[in-house]
Amino acid sequence: MTNAIIVFDGVCGVCNAYVQFVIRRDPGGYFSFVSAQSTRGQQLRATGGDILADSIVLIEGNTTYIQSEAIFRIGRRLTAPWRWIWWFRWLPRTPLDVLYAKFAQNRHRFGSPTSCQLLTPDQQNRLLIADNQ
């Protein structure tokens, strides 16, 4: 049973690095991951309504979160000190989302993945690559 799903840009080096960052700091396996380019990723994005193409998407239960709200909610489930990012949710959301959007528009300038990391069996189970997962 998946607790939460992170939909990420599978061709973005920053996004892939972020997925690896989360995996290493989520020892309980709360998050599963799906590439936005996959059929499943496109379906999940569509169910969230008006979701920006340049945003990470977090689906927790029946609720979809994007931009800074997604980052904060992901952070609160990670090991310390990363979970403390949750306290920043009290900052005004509009300027945070503007900064997020600006970075997201330029994220491909930081490179694309050039290799794939070998995943443990547990990590492989957290990647939702089949359409029926």
Q: How do the pLDDT tens digits run along the chain, 133 residues long?
A: 468 999 988 878 888 888 989 999 998 999 999 988 888 888 887 776 666 666 789 999 889 898 889 999 999 999 999 999 899 888 888 888 888 888 877 766 666 555 555 556 666 666 666 444 4
Range of the domain at 59: 4-116
Contact assessment for residue 70 and residue 43, using Cβ atoms and an 8 Å cutoff: no
Give whole-number Cα distances, 82 to 63, 79, 88, 97, 100, in Å. Answer: 22, 6, 11, 19, 18
Residue at 96 is within a domain: yes
pLDDT at 131: 47
pLDDT at 115: 52
Residue at 123 is within a domain: no
Residue at 87 is within a domain: yes
Residue at 129 is within a domain: no
3-class DSSP state of 74 = helix
Number of domains the chain is built from: 1
pLDDT at 17: 85
What are φ and ψ of residue 9, in 5° steps?
-75, 110
Residue at 124 is within a domain: no
Residue at 8 is within a domain: yes
Alpha carbon 109 to its chain's center: 19
Residue at 20 is within a domain: yes
Residue at 126 is within a domain: no
